[in-house]
Amino acid sequence: MKNILRWVVFIPISLLLGMLAVFPVHWVFLICFDKDDFFYSYKEVIEYSITPFIIGYFFVYFGSIIAPAKNNKVAKILVILWIALAIIASISVINYGFILKTYNYIGLLLGIIGTIIAYLVVSEDYEDQ
């Protein structure tokens, strides 16, 4: 029963943990960038670009840890799921004529890079599976 529950909740919980991992980064940006700082005007761009990387990384990392078995394969599936959702989001944005800011595209790319890096880390941890 415990394994069934872990299989059911591993995607929502890993996504939630990925989103919760962003809060410390947000607090660091609030503390480090004051209004007199040169980078204050770029704070939003930097933070919005880094956020998908962090969420993507921890989504794959925690998802592979929470899954009860085949952690390496689960990480690969989560990376594919993330990339597929990123492509679907990009196509739907283009089709509906929304104009995104540059950091949205950078964030999209960094999110994919974050998931791939997490997969590489997880694949090293679970080489035997």
Q: What distances in angstroms separate CA 45 from CA 27, 57, 91, one per listed residue?
A: 15, 19, 22
| Nearest Cα residue to 129 out of 81, 64, 35 | 64
Q: 17 or 102: whose pLDDT is higher?
A: 17
% of the chain residues with pLDDT over 90: 8
Give the model's pLDDT for residue 80.
92
Alpha helices for the chain (secondary structure H): 2-20, 22-32, 43-66, 71-95, 102-125
Residue 92 near residue 63 (C-beta atoms within 8 A): no
Q: What is the pLDDT of residues 35-75, one digit of tens each?
A: 666 666 677 777 888 888 998 999 898 888 887 777 788 88
| Residues 82, 68: Cα–Cα separation, whole Å | 20
Q: What distances in angstroms separate CA 99 from CA 20, 43, 53, 102, 110, one per listed residue?
A: 28, 21, 21, 9, 19
70: left (phi over 0), alpha (psi -120 to 50) or beta: left
CA dihedral sign of residues 55, 97, 42, 30: negative
Q: For residue 128, is pLDDT > 60?
A: no
Between helix 43-66 and helix 2-20 the angle, nearest 10°, is 170
Residue 47 near residue 99 (C-beta atoms within 8 A): no
